[in-house]
Structure 1
Amino acid sequence: MAALLTSRDDLDIIPSLIESNILFGTQLLQTLRQTPVEVFINTGTFAEYLYGDGQYNSSYLYSATKTAFHAMIRYYQQLIGFKVINVIPYTVYGQVDTQPKIMDIIYNSFLQKDAINMSGGEQTLDFVHIDDVVAFYALLIDKIDSLVNPWEDYHLGTGKGHTLRQLAQLFQAQLGLPENINWGALPYRPRDTMYSVAPIAKLIAHFGWVPATVIQSGVTKFIAGKQIAAS
């Protein structure tokens, strides 16, 4: 999980991305040569799959570094002989985040005077609550001895997508405030992810896992957490 998450792709950010997302991980894998490691759990990102078709095609420089790190993992896997579990979380949200995500931006728009400018809001994303993400990792570690394949990819989400406009409507219904977003005022980014919904059939088949938090109750928990933090 140790990585630099950023949407920046300017010249100045490149050394930090390489150091955090490739160099540090490679140093970690090299150190593992001195241990009896049996399983390595890597955390990827849905942004590695621009078109949501399961094929690697990075949306951002950040996600490109995550995909590039796979070559290092495979090298050390063959060298050491451990199994690899590659978990791909989708759009994770919760009460507290170190940097604002799209859900924070939409929530905050209801609380400010001036409307915020956004793109068309037609991006369909799979919003998975942090409680479900933590629960899955705990389950994965508990069941890890039952996994037999040398490399498994698990796409971690709800299996259901909502557009940003639909998300804003959920907030509007629960907050009872007028929408405060100028949809379409900004262009889409050149490689914006327009459809990203997790295929969760393998999660169900291998673990019987389904998310406990649907988006409606997740928004309720999100709002409650924000209000507690502000009080």
Structure 2
Amino acid sequence: MTRILLTGGSGFIGSRFLSHLAAANIDVVSIGRGARSNSCATTTDHRVVSRLTADEVKQAVGETPIDAVVHLAAAGVNPWDRDVGNLRMINGLLPSELVELAHAWGARGFIMSGSNSEYARFDGDRIEESAPLEATKLYGATKAAGGLMALATGTALGLPSANLRLFNVYGPGEAPHRLLPSLSKALLRGEDAPLSQGQQVRDFIHVDDACSALMASLSGVMNGTLPTGHYNVCTGEGTSVRNFALAVADALNAAPSLLRFGMIPMRPDDQARVVGDPSAFKSHTGWRPRLSLAEGIAETLSAPHRAEHAGPP
């Protein structure tokens, strides 16, 4: 059985990814700073570290054989929790250190989750991997630096490595402050949902499609069909925040008048359009997103997940 080391398994994407790994009969050693409450993957061997550092990860793994590393952990995902030191160490330095560990363990590949935040302001139609990278915003800059260092290290050591730049991932398990959970919570209660004018265009991708991309990349680096590189994981299609909100209201049979467009001002640094070009990743892996936006929203707000989005009474 293939065994991978996974960081970030308790996060939004990581928790969902564990079920994909379990379905593929892949054994998992999960590293985290707290005990796991999610037991969806019985093949997960979770090991607790006091800090997410290369030394503690190395000690936690010990002599356990590792075939590949999937690094999903990051600092600053919550915009209100962006300590400079954590951003520098976890986003900027840790990825390349994990590549070195993976190589020392004899692993056959390294995958990390990047972000569309790695790109600088872009005024074109679709962002390609060669677009300029962020150099002034700390979160995006540290994510970009970490991805660059990780892949350069992988190249130097001969370890196939991929940085998947995920765009606007949504779905079950999102943090309450994010767009879909905050919208659905208000609409399910019949309350106003304050929004900006909603003209920003984004590339929304369902978490299960992001996880299937992680699975495709894992297979690709391990069997040699995915060259070391940075890859956009997105749909390639733009949807305005306004239309996304209207689709959520439609899925919940809620009155569109509850969507109070214009109540929140646009952030000064908010880009008008952030849509990626997934052509490179598709061509190397054959991956395609399975869910349309309407299908993804409907799945997220289906009966099994509705209590999560309604929030406490």
TM beyond 0.5: yes
TM-score scaled by length of structure 2? 0.64
Q: Write out per-residue CA displacement over residues 25-79 of structure 1, whole angstroms, 9 at most, x where no aligned residue.
A: 3442443453334432221101222325332136842221101213432552354
Query: Which protein, 1 or 2, shows the higher relative CO under an 8 Å CA cutoff with sep ≥ 6?
Result: 1
Q: For the residues of structure 2 that align with 1:57 and 1:25, how far apart are their CA atoms? A: 18
Q: Is the 8 Å Cα contact of residues 217 and 226 (structure 2) preserved in structure 1?
A: no
Q: Secondary structure at the match of 1:110?
A: helix
Aligned mate of 1:147, from 214, 225, 228:
225
Q: Is the 8 Å Cα contact of residues 47 and 58 (structure 1) preserved in structure 2?
A: no
What is the match of residue 116 of structure 2? Answer: 46
- Measure how far apart 1:214 and its partner are: 0.5
- Identity %, equivalent residues: 23
Between 134-143 and 83-92, report the one with greater CA deviation: 134-143
Instruction: Tell me the amino acid that sits aligned with residue 196 of structure 1.
Output: V
TM-score scaled by length of structure 1? 0.85
What is the match of residue 104 of structure 2? Answer: 34
Distance change in 2, residues 1:199/1:169 (3 Å): same
Between 58-67 and 116-125, report the one with greater CA deviation: 58-67
Q: For the residues of structure 2 that align with 1:30 and 1:204, how far apart are their CA atoms? A: 28
Aligned mate of 1:223, from 285, 290, 301:
301
**1:1-231 to 2 correspondence within 5 Å?**
1-4=72-75, 5-8=77-80, 13-32=83-102, 34-49=104-119, 50-51=121-122, 53=127, 54-57=131-134, 60-112=137-189, 114-144=191-221, 145-147=223-225, 149=227, 151-179=228-256, 180-224=258-302, 225-229=304-308
What is the match of residue 15 of structure 2? Answer: none
Deviant stretches of 4+, over 6 Å: none
Q: Write out per-residue CA displacement over residues 165-214 of structure 1, whole angstroms, 9 at most, x where no aligned residue.
A: 10111122222211323222222223213212221222332222211100
- Measure how far apart 1:163 and its partner are: 0.6
Q: For the residues of structure 2 that align with 1:72 and 1:105, how far apart are their CA atoms? A: 35
Q: For the residues of structure 1 that align with 2:184 and 2:225, how far apart are their CA atoms? A: 40
Between 72-81 and 214-223, report the one with greater CA deviation: 72-81
Q: Is the 8 Å Cα contact of residues 86 and 153 (structure 1) preserved in structure 2?
A: yes
Structure with the higher helix share, 1 or 2: 1
Q: Secondary structure at the match of 2:145?
A: helix
Q: Write out per-residue CA displacement over residues 78-134 of structure 1, whole angstroms, 9 at most, x where no aligned residue.
A: 542323211111111111124532111222231345524322211111111111111
- Measure how far apart 1:9 and its partner are: 7.8
Give the number of equivalent residue pairs.
Answer: 228
- Measure how far apart 1:155 and its partner are: 0.9
Unaligned runs of 5+ in 2: 1-71
Q: Secondary structure at the match of 1:206?
A: helix
- How much is the aligned-residue C-alpha RMSD, in angstroms? 2.6
